[in-house]
Amino acid sequence: MQTETGKLMNGAEILLECLAREGVDCFFGYPGGVTLPFYDALVDSHIRHILVRHEENACFAAEGYARATGRVGVCCATSGPGATNLITGLVDSMMDSIPIVAITGQVHSKLIGSDAFQEADTFGITRPATKHNFMVKTLQELPKIVHEAFYIAASGRPGPVLVDIPKDIFQARGHYVPVDTIHLPGYKVFTEGHTGQIRRAAQLIWEAEKPFVYAGGGIVAAGASPELTELVEMADLPAVCTLMALGGLSSSHPNFISMPGMHGSYAANMGMTDCDLLIALGTRFDDRVTGQLQSFARHARVIHVDIDPAEIGKNRTPDIPIVGDVKRVLQKLNKVMQELEAEFKPKKAEARRKWWTQIRDWKEERPYDRSRAEGEIKPQHLMDEIDRLSGGQAIVTSDVGQHQMWAAQLIRFNEPRLWINSGGLGAMGFGLPSALGAQMARPDKLVFAICGDGGFQMSIPELATIASHALPVKIIVMNNGCLGMIRQWQELFYNNRLSSCELDSFPDAEKLAGAYGFKGRTIDKPWQLAQALEEAIKEPGPYLLNVRVRREENVYPMVPAGAGIHEMVFGPVVPVSV
């Protein structure tokens, strides 16, 4: 039964009550005319509001919070430009399945449709950018909508949900009506997986001679790392984790191969190409992973587990489709695997031994490049040092570009939720604000924000937010003096005709950080690196370390766009035929 709680409140206070009941302890936003009643109510709330310096970063910070914890991240913006500034973050969380609730203010209900000051059709604009969106029309429906928004954001395949609230709803007075049950007839989540299909999958896994696990971000989202680890160990399976899944299986686990795809390792891509059974778990066969689809895992049968039925068969038709929560499905699969173990395991032992020998050979043949240089800092050297100091334990956020790929290749993540980056959308400017959100959520953790000199310059305003909360984020700029990934593509695929990729001006890091009241430094010599990073970590507050690296360095291996993932190149023009 629904009962009204005693106190008469306005809509803004009711919204805060909803947020408190959803366990929100902090959220990220920027005020404006129509959200002023909400910001007024905030004065008396225990929920922390983090004032970012741009709404896009409110959503990125909420994503950092959500990605680091698995909880719903919350952001808030005013109508018109505030709401439209959120769009990139919404699409980013949509592409990477991150649970976000975005609250936007809207002009007074009476003015909607009149081109009022700061009116935008937020509901219409954000429809394709969100998992779901709501426009609140009455105060009575506000609590129900807000609780439904949290439910939809976090359940099934997570994603962003936007709640647009006109100013008069914030101001109207009424009671908070508790919402005991969520009833959404049109929204069904299938979690359990089909028992018969799970049994067939278990049998196929034992019968395969060259099985290969392809783990995606769903493993992290579902909290399925223990189950994945159990599966991999029980059947001694080689496993790759996509860019979204790094840490889903510990990078230090002996069965972990690496990341696959465009900048994945030789062993990962050859394993995918040559396997006879691909076990795809919580993953969406993204083009950056599969390369040319016709040649992807061309000899393999495919088991595909995903909570989103729309992903099954989207890019590759599986032999065994299983719709369900990958954690629940793996729990059941592991059980059946155990039942079949004694009968099946010995049968393929010899074939499996050969498969592992092949994979180890690929690993040894072409490991990731970790070379160092005498006079210059190589990007790989920088990532190696961060890896050493993290020991697989630090939270590392990254921006988008070459540095992101080197970080993903070379830094270990021994747990899920340590590696935070914009995978699907590839949004530059993500690294710094997401680090801010992650550090807010996990004050106990060492947090590195690894940025390119391009992406960093997109997010400089958030240095103010970091400073004002004394967040001890270690901001590491991998400064190659250019838009490195653009330069790499222009060099390799446009005859080295460099066009608008130079970044010939960069602020003095010491002065820039100093202007915000914290420490910064620039280094450019290999012998300075270890000590400079250690000094940054020792500093109790934020630190900006600008690391000038070798400009000409390219990320390899690389699968040229449109090629099969076995057609990796390892240098400027020498394609390796395999």
Whole-number minimum distance, CB 377 to ligand TPP, in Å? 13
The residue (of 294 and 505) whose beta carbon lies closer to ligand TPP is 505
Greatest C-alpha distance within the chain: 74
The residue (of 225 and 459) whose beta carbon lies closer to ligand TPP is 459
| Catalytic position from the list 55, 148, 227, 385 | 55
Whole-number minimum distance, CB 454 to ligand TPP, in Å? 3
Q: Which part of the chain contacts ligand TPP (CB under 6 A), choosing from 100-108, 289-297, 427-435, 466-474?
A: 427-435
Q: Which part of the chain contacts ligand TPP (CB under 6 A), choosing from 5-13, 287-295, 351-359, 453-461?
A: 453-461
Closest CA to 445 of 469, 418, 407: 418
Whole-number minimum distance, CB 176 to ligand TPP, in Å? 40
Whole-number minimum distance, CB 548 to ligand TPP, in Å? 12
Return contacts of 118-121, CB within 8 angstroms, 24+ apart. Answer: 118/32, 118/33, 118/34, 118/78, 118/79, 118/80, 118/81, 118/82, 119/79, 119/80, 120/79, 120/80, 120/81, 120/83, 120/84
Question: What whole-number distance in Å separates Cα of residue 157 and Cα of residue 99?
Answer: 9
The residue (of 385 and 399) whose beta carbon lies closer to ligand TPP is 399
Tell me if residue 28 is catalytic. Answer: no
Is omega for the bond preceding 557 within 30 degrees of 0, making it cis? yes
What is the pairing mode between strands 301-306 and 277-281? parallel
The correct pick among 201, 359, 400, 449 for binding ligand TPP (CB under 6 A) is 400
The correct pick among 62, 249, 485, 533 for binding ligand TPP (CB under 6 A) is 485
Using alpha carbons, list the distances in angstroms from residue 34 to 40, 76, 78, 107, 114: 11, 12, 6, 6, 16
Tokens of 385: 């040092």
What angle separates helix 526-538 from helix 379-390, to the nearest 10 degrees? 40
Binding of ligand TPP by 401 (CB under 6 A): yes
The residue (of 437 and 454) whose beta carbon lies closer to ligand TPP is 454
The residue (of 327 and 403) whose beta carbon lies closer to ligand TPP is 403
The correct pick among 197, 265, 273, 480 for binding ligand TPP (CB under 6 A) is 480
Closest CA to 172 of 199, 137, 203: 137
Q: Which part of the chain contacts ligand TPP (CB under 6 A), choosing from 29-37, 133-141, 199-207, 483-491?
A: 483-491
Whole-number minimum distance, CB 428 to ligand TPP, in Å? 3
Tell me if residue 259 is catalytic. Answer: no
The correct pick among 81, 309, 392, 426 for binding ligand TPP (CB under 6 A) is 426
Q: How many residues does the chain have?
A: 578
Question: What whole-number distance in Å separates Cα of residue 493 and Cα of residue 186?
Answer: 47
Residue-by-residue DSSP string for 33-58? GGGHHHHHHHTT-SSEEEE-SSHHHH
Question: What whole-number distance in Å separates Cα of residue 429 and Cα of residue 422?
Answer: 9
The correct pick among 74, 267, 427, 435 for binding ligand TPP (CB under 6 A) is 427
Whole-number minimum distance, CB 79 to ligand TPP, in Å? 24
Sheet holding 301-306, edge to edge: 239-241, 211-215, 277-281, 301-306, 320-323
Whole-number minimum distance, CB 310 to ligand TPP, in Å? 25
Question: What secondary structure letter does DSSP report for 577?
Answer: P
Tokens of 439: 């550090």
The residue (of 267 and 483) whose beta carbon lies closer to ligand TPP is 483
The correct pick among 73, 260, 454, 557 for binding ligand TPP (CB under 6 A) is 454
Neighbouring CB atoms inside 10 A of 191's CB total 15
Tokens of 150: 């949290």
**Residue reference for tokens 């710094």:** 432
The correct pick among 56, 63, 311, 399 for binding ligand TPP (CB under 6 A) is 399
The correct pick among 402, 409, 459, 490 for binding ligand TPP (CB under 6 A) is 402
Per residue in 391-401, is it b (16+ CB within 10 Å) or e — as a string? eeebbbbbbbb
Helix ranges, 70-159 (H): 81-85, 87-95, 122-126, 142-154
Q: What angle do CA 125, 131, 135 make, to 5 degrees?
A: 55
Q: Which part of the chain contacts ligand TPP (CB under 6 A), choosing from 36-44, 131-139, 334-342, 451-459?
A: 451-459
Binding of ligand TPP by 87 (CB under 6 A): no
Residue-by-residue DSSP string for 3-23? ---SSEEEHHHHHHHHHHHTT
Tell me if residue 327 is catalytic. Answer: no
Number of residue whose CB is nearest ligand TPP: 452
Tell me if residue 490 is catalytic. Answer: no
Whole-number minimum distance, CB 526 to ligand TPP, in Å? 18
Q: Which residues contact 1 (CB under 8 A, 6 or more apart)?
A: 180
Tell me if residue 55 is catalytic. Answer: yes
Closest CA to 316 of 334, 297, 332: 297
| Catalytic position from the list 28, 134, 135, 167 | 167
Q: Which part of the chain contacts ligand TPP (CB under 6 A), choosing from 26-34, 42-50, 235-243, 449-457?
A: 449-457
By CB under 6 A, the residues from 221 to 260 that bind ligand TPP are none
Binding of ligand TPP by 291 (CB under 6 A): no
Neighbouring CB atoms inside 10 A of 127's CB total 12
Whole-number minimum distance, CB 561 to ligand TPP, in Å? 13
The correct pick among 32, 89, 433, 484 for binding ligand TPP (CB under 6 A) is 484
Radius of gyration of the chain (CA): 25
Whole-number minimum distance, CB 485 to ligand TPP, in Å? 4
| Catalytic position from the list 262, 485, 558, 568 | 485
The correct pick among 91, 259, 418, 428 for binding ligand TPP (CB under 6 A) is 428
The correct pick among 101, 267, 486, 536 for binding ligand TPP (CB under 6 A) is 486
What is the set of active-site residues?
55, 117-118, 167, 485
Residues found near ligand TPP in the complex (CB under 6 A)? 399-403, 426-429, 452-455, 478, 480, 483-486
